[in-house]
Amino acid sequence: MFASAKEILAKAKAEKYAVGAFNVSNMEIAQGVVMAAVEKRSPLILQITESAMKYAGDKELAKIVRTVIDERSEDVPVGINLDHGKTLDLVKKAIDLGFSSVMIDGSRLTFQENKNLTKSVVDYSRQKNIPVQAELGIVPYLGELNTDQTDWSTLMTDPDKAKDFVDYTGVDFLAVAIGNAHGFFREAEVFDWARLKTINEKLGIPLVLHGASDCSVDKISKSIENGVACFNVDTDIRLAFMGQLTKMVDSKVSITDPRKIMEAVREAVKKKVVEKINIFGSSHKA
């Protein structure tokens, strides 16, 4: 059932579990994720980046994802989020394409620029009844910083600034930086739990943790205790997809039907999402 991230995340936060937001760039990933949602009766979010839109065609990908939800999700709530949107124009496009939430990522701008951009997106999205996620602090990517000497203290979300940011912009969800990192950038061994607790107490809105692929079970549960209602997962899905694809291609059996390969790949994606759902505690929350 196509649903709003607003309700999905509000329920998760209130009942102290989290949902996954899984990046999608093709039909098989979308189907694998939704099949896991149905099997586990877990609400979740499918999310699309600008580069995924460029790869698959924005309208094509949006239609594929929406159709997969409509055809397969039964009564399990599933949203479509714009992930890491960088401009108001892209947000407008995503809303026109039928997404049920958007993220505006001004995290690499100055604090004031991020505030202004986020406010303009919230003002626009409110009229369309679409909730907005913003990001404050830096959740680094591999290649962006010197990984040998990461000074996490310079990257983390400042709780007072976060309060000011949320009050000013009226944003619905906030992505925070507490030692987490994207993809293969090695995250901090210990997250700054005191900081997360303070942010949660000051803001009260659902928090989002990006770069959740490699988070330990312990980090996941402590994050949930402190207000995280959504974990963004991309790399682990890519690894599951590519791992199975490579295995199939490398096998001695000659396969001439791509469906034989992609069926197994889709199953591997589903299995990985089921694992994540079990860790996030969102089974049977539909």
HSE of 180, CA atoms in CB hemisphere, 13 A: 29
Of 94-113, binders to ligand G3H (CB under 6 A) are: none
270 binds, among Zn ion, ligand G3H, none (CB under 5 to 8 A by kind): none
236 to 82, 202, 274: CA distances (angstroms): 19, 32, 12
CB 122 within 8 A of CB 169: yes
Q: DSSP string spanning 190-217?
A: S--HHHHHHHHHHH-SPEEES--TT--H
Q: Tell whether residue 212 is a contact of ligand G3H (CB under 6 A).
A: yes
Binding of ligand G3H by 223 (CB under 6 A): no
Question: Catalytic annotation on 158?
Answer: no
The one among 210, 219, 266, 276 contacting Zn ion by CB under 5 A? 210
Closest CA to 35 of 2, 79, 62, 73: 73
Nearest alpha carbon to residue 137 among 113, 125, 112, 154: 154
Stretch of 38-46, 113-121, 193-201, 211-219 lying at the interface with ligand G3H (CB under 6 A): 211-219
Provide, rounded to whole angstroms, the least separation between the CB of residue 234 and Zn ion.
7
Residues 83, 192, 234, 236: which is the catalytic one?
83
Tell me the number of residues near ligand G3H by CB under 6 A. 14
Our CB check for ligand G3H shows the closer of 1 and 108 to be: 108
Phi/psi at 177 (nearest 5 deg)?
Answer: -115, 115
Binding residues among 63-92 for ligand G3H as defined by CB under 6 A: 83-84
* Positions marked active-site: 83
Binding site for Zn ion (CB under 5 A): 210, 232
